[in-house]
Chain A
């Protein structure tokens, strides 16, 4: 079943001059269509300003398409009466770790979403502490978020979303401001949610993160321009480069080796380790896969 279905959606921002007069419109999402089956781990790539965030905001009714329709779990996002249901079903983790924590106490921050939804008290406690447990932050429950690292703050934000029991979580460049350690922590939490059956939509600039997804799309000028498995998308890196992206190093190296005459199998290795195994087996003799 398709959890998310966008049908030919468009959204443009008005542009203003210094006096505040409308001078034009900038199309951020341009007749975009996509369906995301429940349980998918989808990575979204594209250069800055290509419309990824604008697209993401359509998935939980933060924006309503000016043309076309978005369905979340079969519900049209433009129906105002279902807005809270949609936002509960599709949680969102943003880029800046500080700007999405609303409370001075971690457990109260995690409780913020379910409190707004009126979850009864006993269940509320269960949800808060089990969400903190899932992201490995239980021991900090009654602390202030101020002293945490970026990765820890993002995990709190993830716990806050989890406490709403979402069907999907959108990560809008949630790893972009983190150091490598923080990124690993967030990716670990993200994969754990995916294993539990939650649909993941991960917007990122890191190809290694995208290559862990089941499906990758590239957005350019508000349209989906490439869509497939990481192997399919990165395998065609000549095209991906047109959209300002650079395939993972392993893919580029594999192509160089092939150009240099090494006969590697059809399988496209996405990381160095996988490629090294391929080369090793090639060198050992013959059978290429």
Chain B
């Protein structure tokens, strides 16, 4: 049951998107996010969706696989769509008791839903096409400037790396403990919520104790292998930009330029 947790889920495939430098993909996600908030026209969304659709095609991540990732947000999305429909003032289409549905409300709700869906799809495309390891590398490099503000960027990157390393170790251990406790008659699957939460205690406590022991060992191992604060650190596989990465940066800037320009062009011409 614990194995089902997939963190930083990666969809292995050989594609041009997979091959891009993680920094480019982080930048792309950022640009995509900005474009979603800048844009407020219907034609703009058509352009954004068309571009995004092409990227998904190139990435070779199946569309169904991507859409499955939306399941987790269905509730939150419906909730905010409904709120948007009811609280927006404007031309009333339908009204009952204290509720009014307005045209503006419907449009706003639709835009909101599209934005949210694209936001989630956009960032999940990044995790689908980038291994957790190279994502960490990319983050460390991209946020490297924060080191000058005394943010321990490398320490955070190491922490994320170690967390990724120990997720399978601890989940295996959890499975072992569950089996051992079940053999002694513990039941993790039945009873009401309170009972189930209580039932987790014989799992959580030994797992925590072991995690702390591992952390202690690991701290020694890091010290023994010369972990330090100096800036001279090198890398076995340093990130290097290729021509494709440069091209991707140019395309991304063109994309953002188009979205921003079209917004002002439309405003200038009088439609919104």
In the complex, what residues of A have CB within 8 A of residue B221's CB? 92, 94, 99-100, 102
A3 at the interface (CB under 8 A from B): no
A100 and B217 contacting across the interface, CB-CB below 8 Å: yes
Chain A: CB-nearest residue to B226: A116
In the complex, what residues of B have CB within 8 A of residue A260's CB? none
In the complex, what residues of A have CB within 8 A of residue B220's CB? 57, 62, 94
A116 and B233 contacting across the interface, CB-CB below 8 Å: yes
B164 at the interface (CB under 8 A from A): yes
The distance from the CB of A143 to the nearest CB of chain B, in whole angstroms, is 13
In the complex, what residues of B have CB within 8 A of residue A118's CB? 230, 232-234
**Which of A84, A103, A120, A160 touches B234 (beta carbons < 8 Å)?**
A120
Chain B interface residue count: which class? 20 to 34
Residue of A60, A114, A115, A128 with most chain B CB atoms under a 10 A cut-off: A115
The distance from the CB of A133 to the nearest CB of chain B, in whole angstroms, is 15
Within 8 A of B (CB), among A137-168: 144-146, 160-161, 164
Chain A: CB-nearest residue to B213: A99
**Which of A120, A121, A144, A160 touches B225 (beta carbons < 8 Å)?**
A160
A121 and B222 contacting across the interface, CB-CB below 8 Å: no
A173 at the interface (CB under 8 A from B): no
Within 8 A of A (CB), among B172-225: 213-214, 217-218, 220-225
**CB-CB under 8 A for A98 and B169, given A116-B227, A124-B234, A125-B236:** yes
B225 and A113 contacting across the interface, CB-CB below 8 Å: yes
Instruction: Give CA–CA (A87, B161) in the complex, Å.
Output: 23
B164 and A104 contacting across the interface, CB-CB below 8 Å: yes
The distance from the CB of A4 to the nearest CB of chain B, in whole angstroms, is 15
B226 and A84 contacting across the interface, CB-CB below 8 Å: yes
The distance from the CB of A101 to the nearest CB of chain B, in whole angstroms, is 7
A99 and B214 contacting across the interface, CB-CB below 8 Å: yes
B270 at the interface (CB under 8 A from A): no
B165 at the interface (CB under 8 A from A): yes
In the complex, what residues of A have CB within 8 A of residue B228's CB? 84, 116
B243 at the interface (CB under 8 A from A): no
B168 and A146 contacting across the interface, CB-CB below 8 Å: yes
The distance from the CB of A84 to the nearest CB of chain B, in whole angstroms, is 5
B150 at the interface (CB under 8 A from A): no
Instruction: Give CA–CA (A146, B1) in the complex, Å.
Output: 19
A94 and B226 contacting across the interface, CB-CB below 8 Å: no
**Which of B213, B217, B226 touches A113 (beta carbons < 8 Å)?**
B226
The distance from the CB of A168 to the nearest CB of chain B, in whole angstroms, is 12
A104 and B165 contacting across the interface, CB-CB below 8 Å: yes
A262 at the interface (CB under 8 A from B): no
In the complex, what residues of B have CB within 8 A of residue A161's CB? 225
Residues in B lying within 8 Å of A, measured CB to CB:
132-133, 158, 161-162, 164-165, 168-169, 213-214, 217-218, 220-228, 230, 232-238
Q: Offer 17 A-B interface pairs, CB within 8 angstroms, sorted by A.
A: A87-B226, A91-B225, A96-B217, A99-B214, A100-B218, A102-B158, A102-B225, A103-B161, A104-B132, A104-B161, A107-B236, A108-B237, A113-B225, A116-B226, A121-B238, A124-B236, A128-B236
* 17 extra A-B contacts, CB within 8 A, seeds A113-B226, A116-B233: A57-B220, A62-B224, A87-B226, A91-B225, A94-B224, A96-B217, A100-B217, A101-B165, A104-B164, A108-B237, A113-B225, A115-B234, A115-B236, A116-B226, A118-B234, A121-B234, A146-B169
Residues in A lying within 8 Å of B, measured CB to CB:
57, 60, 62, 84, 87-88, 91-92, 94, 96, 98-105, 107-108, 111-121, 124-125, 128, 144-146, 160-161, 164
Interface pairs A-B: 4 shortest CB-CB:
A118-B232, A99-B217, A111-B236, A100-B221
